[in-house]
Amino acid sequence: MNSSTAAPGAPSGPEGLLPRLAGNEEVVAFFAGVADLDATSPADHGLEDGVRLASGERLEQFARAGSGDAFCFVGEGGEERPVVYVSLDGEAGPIALGLPDLVRLCLVAPWWRNAPRRTAAQLRAVADEYRQDLPGLDEQRERAARALGLDPAALPSEPAVLARLAELSRGPVATACLVLGHEGDPLDPLFRADRT
């Protein structure tokens, strides 16, 4: 399961994205503080014992949310690997095809975890509430995007990144990224395929 095709506007660089998510002040302020993706010390946190992929492929945590939820790469390789989110609430699922895809999701819709099973109007309300709680959101996003080498104007739209989440929740990617809990049962999907 290797998707190495970079989307337009994908940040690039010989050192990769992960070190920049952990080492640039503007980037850390946005991703850890706004998007709740902290890549500064992933080795300090690990997955619950027994949490694994049904396929037997490697599940490698590279970042965490403040709640302790995990961002994990699937399989072997680099930052082009699919990314799975594993919640301590017993939910998991693919959220991006590679770290550049995840970066765009977090920049455009840092509130994406509130998206499951909501209508378009409800999602708009969630986004508006997020902006009210963080009045400098757009400026912070722009600084973080530029620090990563991205043009903020070239980022996808909120509907596009949310449609991508729905797309990843079904089909071969979801099947290949099925996460099992410590008792061997599949964790609940983050995004149900029957409700997009």
Q: What is the mean pLDDT of residues 63-79?
A: 93
pLDDT for the residue numbered 9 = 44
**Distance between CA atoms of 161 and 166, rounded to whole angstroms?**
9
145-173 in b/e form (b: 16+ CB < 10 A) is bebbebeeeebbebeebbebbebbbbeeb
Nearest CA among 42, 81, 62 for reference residue 176: 81
Least confident of 2-6, 40-44, 91-95, 143-147: 2-6
Q: What is the mean pLDDT of residues 73-92?
A: 94
- Model pLDDT for residues 93-151, shown as the tens digit of each residue: 999 999 999 999 999 999 888 776 666 677 778 888 888 888 888 999 999 999 999 99
**Distance between CA atoms of 86 and 13, rounded to whole angstroms?**
28
Backbone angles phi, psi at 26, to 5 degrees: -65, -40
Rounded to two decimals, what is the model's pTM? Answer: 0.85
pLDDT for the residue numbered 139 = 92
